[in-house]
Amino acid sequence: MADITELESLRWDLRQDCVDIIMAGGGGHIGGDMSVIDALMVLYENHLRITPATTTDPDRDRFVLSKGHAMEAYYTILCHEGFLDLADVEARFSKFGSPYIGHPNNKLPGIEMNSGSLGHGLPVAVGMALAARMDGRDYRSYVFMGDGELAEGSVWEGAMSGANYGLDNLCALVDRNRLQISGSTEDVMKQDSQESRWAAFGWNVISIPGNDLVALDDAFGLAAETKGKPTVIIANTTKGYGSPVMENKAAWHHKLPTADEYAQISADFKAHKEAGLNA
């Protein structure tokens, strides 16, 4: 269990690692990586019960990255937690013959399911939660989705069954950064209000500032305490969070930083980290 103060510092190091993976591979979904990486970090550091030694333990918690394009953030966390080697990922990400592709690859240690096509993760996580109940095991199933992803009908099929079966061992998180590749989610396909939509489907809804580590930590804790229904955390995040170069700019959905932009982004991360340390 990591102290939130430590995580406030760590998150900027992880962002730097993530951007370095993207630079090494020559591309990645940087905007969504930056919005969701805090939630990934808090989940893996403080809540998800899995280690590199327990990747096949039947009692391990399950995690599915349904917004699979945030893979560079996922690689970063998997490396930090010891599932993968950062130097190896940087050396081979997106390269010919590499297992480190742009979406989850469950041939790699620690990754449960492949994804990439949006809208798949929630039904899969529902199945995982059902399996836990059938076997009388207390592991929890987590799934992270993007907000643009919520336009997929299969998400709502999973929302129905998760509530229908009262799966309180299931926790979904929506990375509500309000941008998708074409622009604002509200311009592309209105998403507001996600809180009322999920509540109407019978879920316990926790809406938080999604780049607030304390709020994230508390939300995962509250979800675990909720009985009788699954929980969705609406994490109201900032796409590209961490540098004004890319924050809230749809063009940064998968933009590769120039050398100058990379330098500025790295400087911004460093400044954030130092400001936190001096606070």
Partner 1 sequence: MPNTIANRKAICDILLERAKTDKDIVVLCSDSRGSASLTPFFDAFPEQSVEAGIAEQDLVGMAAGLASCGKKAFAASPASFVSTRSYEQAKVDCAYSDTNVTLIGISGGVSYGALGMSHHSAQDIAAMSAIPNMRVYLPSDRFQTAALVNALLDDEKPAYVRVGRNAVPDVYAEGEVPFTMDKANVLCEGTDVTIVATGEMVRPALDAARLLGEKGVSATVLDMYCVKPLDAEAVVKAAKATKVVLSVEEHSPYGGLGSQVAQVVSENCPRLVRTLALPDAPVITGTSSEVFAHYGLDAAGIAASATELLARAEA
Question: Where do contacts with partner 1 occur on this chain (CB under 8 A)?
Answer: 58, 62, 106, 112-117, 119-120, 122-132, 134-135, 141, 153-154, 157-158, 160-161, 164
CB of 204 to partner 1, least distance (A): 20
CB of 9 to partner 1, least distance (A): 35
CB of 211 to partner 1, least distance (A): 29
Alpha helix (H) residue ranges in 189-237? 194-200, 213-225
CB of 157 to partner 1, least distance (A): 4
Residue from 112, 109, 165, 105 nearest 142 by CA: 112
C-alpha dist (Å) from residue 155 to 19, 45, 192, 262: 29, 27, 16, 35
C-alpha dist (Å) from residue 132 to 42, 86, 206, 231, 260: 23, 32, 23, 16, 49
Structure tokens at 91: 């050396």
> 229 or 255: whose CB is closer to partner 1?
229
> 94 or 154: whose CB is closer to partner 1?
154
Question: In angstroms, how far is the first alpha carbon of the chain from the final one?
Answer: 22
> 115 or 238: whose CB is closer to partner 1?
115
> 138 or 274: whose CB is closer to partner 1?
138
C-alpha dist (Å) from residue 30 to 16, 19, 218: 11, 7, 26
> 29 or 120: whose CB is closer to partner 1?
120
Contact 49, 139 (CB under 8 A): yes
CB of 231 to partner 1, least distance (A): 17
Rounded-to-integer distance, Cα 72 and Cα 29, Å: 7
CB of 239 to partner 1, least distance (A): 25
CB of 58 to partner 1, least distance (A): 7
Structure tokens at 53: 């030694």
Residues 6+ apart with CB under 8 A from 123: 154, 157, 158, 161
Rounded-to-integer distance, Cα 160 and Cα 152, Å: 14
> 41 or 65: whose CB is closer to partner 1?
65
> 9 or 154: whose CB is closer to partner 1?
154
